[in-house]
Amino acid sequence: MQELYTALSKAQAEMPIIGKNKSGRFKYADLAEVIYTIMPILTKNGLSVRQDGIRHDDGSLSIKTVICHCSGQETPPSIWPIPNPVKEELKGMSYIQALMSNVTYVRRYSLVSMLCIGISDEDYDGDYTQAPSYPKNNYPSRISNDQLNELLYHIGDDQELVKSIYKKYDITSLADLPAQYYIALRDRLMEIKKTKESR
């Protein structure tokens, strides 16, 4: 993975702070602006991005983002759940329009997160919602199998880490992790794994 992470490090050093180019209820940098800004830098360093839609067994949707290197190496997938719009939040939009607004939001922020890009005076996307919300009865209650596998990948064979996760989230199996904690835990595990690898 050395070639991938070397190229990614060089690319991140060249990434600018992205300015906001759109306004609705809020000003924001749209997905097209993010892609327009990052793609020349990624390509220059032999990198590309793949974003795939995933439909889970429970019917929920996610976006899987992977950064690829021309050597064939790629990052572990980053999987972000897509909020399912509820009727009360449509605000004159069709269900499909609202869903695609959330898809665009998740795609944008997964890219920003994986590449550690700064957005100037960062605000939330567009007119549909300030940020994708997860109503109490609309958020998947447990993480998906794909999300579970990603967490297990980052944990490895560290049983002490597993025990600390069980204690923190009051669970007896990682598969029982409430979905709303997935992103924060995944990011923390990636930090821990990166620190161990650098030693």
**Count of CB atoms situated within 10 Å of the CB of 49:** 18
pLDDT of residue 120: 53
Kindly report whether the global pTM for this prediction surpasses the value 0.85: no
In Å, what is the CA distance from 24 to each residue of 107, 125, 144? 19, 8, 33
**52 φ/ψ angles, rounded to the nearest 5 degrees:** -115, 145
pLDDT of residue 124: 43
Cα 29 from Cα 23, distance rounded (Å): 9
| 3-class SS shares of the chain: helix, strand, coil, % to 5 | 50, 15, 35
Cα 153 from Cα 156, distance rounded (Å): 5
What is the CA 136 to chain-centroid distance, rounded?
21
Residue 190: exposed, middle, or buried by beta-carbon count in 10 A (0-12, 13-18, 19+)?
middle
Where in the chain are the domains?
A: 2-134, 141-199
Average pLDDT per block of 10 residues along the chain, 199 residues long: 89 77 54 85 94 87 93 90 72 80 85 75 42 44 76 84 87 84 80 73
pLDDT of residue 66: 94
**Are 18 and 120 contacting, i.e. CB atoms less than 8 angstroms apart?**
yes
pLDDT of residue 196: 74
Question: 78 - beta bridge partners?
Answer: 65
Give the pair of three-digit tokens for residue 137.
């009865």
State the DSSP code for 88: G
Stated as kind and residue range, the H or E segment containing 66 is: strand 61-69
